Amino acid sequence: MALRVTTSKEAITALVNEYQGRFSAELGIDLSSGRSQEIFKWFLASVLFGARISEGIVEKTFHEFDTRGITSPKTVLDTGWDGLVAVLDAGGYGRYDFKTATKLLDMCRSLTEGYGADLANLHDAAADPKDLEQRLASLAKGIGDVTVNIFLREMRSIWEKANPLPSDLVIMAARERGIVPKTVKDRAKVLQLLMDAWKEAGRKKKDFTDFEAALVRAGIELRRKSKADKVTT
């Protein structure tokens, strides 16, 4: 009996049926509105996601900020270092509370002084996608490539210059699902192959972010399984 080969279209359908889409929507953030406050909320969440901490703790911590109305550069600055530490601790973020509080204050101070407290102004000032990434990272010490990638991945269909390369998790899952060949190493090429596969599957360009998010979730699961296998062998 001949083995059946799964097509990219079938692999994509299975993936998006198995995993949730964008993380911002799961947090109740509406990026499609293009509103500055919603975009800042997602940047705040991205900073939280950027630490090596569980998704559940990040979600709980973000909701602590949201329910207390600390969702703008001004309210973050007004809350102050001690107040931010208290919010982070309430969400279970204790391991990173001190340095994260400092990072958030520095970030909001830089954003306020350099871009009128609006990330849209930062985007407009950027010359190209690479400059955009550098400007975001320079807002505060500790905002690294992971945080910037998380943020821009879900801004891809919102901001013209948001065009991050796929993360390790995305590439790992895409290869495991047979959506991109394992022989392709160049990240820009991987991104193009993913976009082509999404289009050929009959999916809308604006929903590509959901595809990437599903790949991230699948990649996280693969990484967990790999670590578990190492422990048991």
Q: How confident is the model over 121-166, as pLDDT tens digits?
A: 999 999 999 999 999 999 999 999 999 999 999 999 999 999 999 9
3-class SS shares of the chain: helix, strand, coil, % to 5: 70, 0, 30
Query: In angstroms, rounded to a whole number, what is the distance separating the alpha carbons of residues 76 and 150?
Result: 21
Work out the pLDDT band at 228, boundaries 50, 70, 90: low
Query: In angstroms, rounded to a whole number, what is the distance separating the alpha carbons of residues 117 and 121?
Result: 8
Mean pLDDT for 1-8 is 52
pLDDT at residue 31 greater than cutoff 60:
yes
pLDDT at 93 (0 to 100): 86
23-153: CATH class: mainly alpha
Task: Give the number of C-alpha atoms closer than 13 A to the C-alpha of residue 149, restricted to the C-beta side.
Answer: 15
pLDDT at 3 (0 to 100): 38
Mean pLDDT for 67-91 is 97
| Tokens at 123, concatenated | 């985007």
Question: Position 158: which residue type?
Answer: I
Query: In angstroms, rounded to a whole number, what is the distance separating the alpha carbons of residues 10 and 104?
Result: 42
Where are the chain's structural domains? 8-20+167-232, 23-153
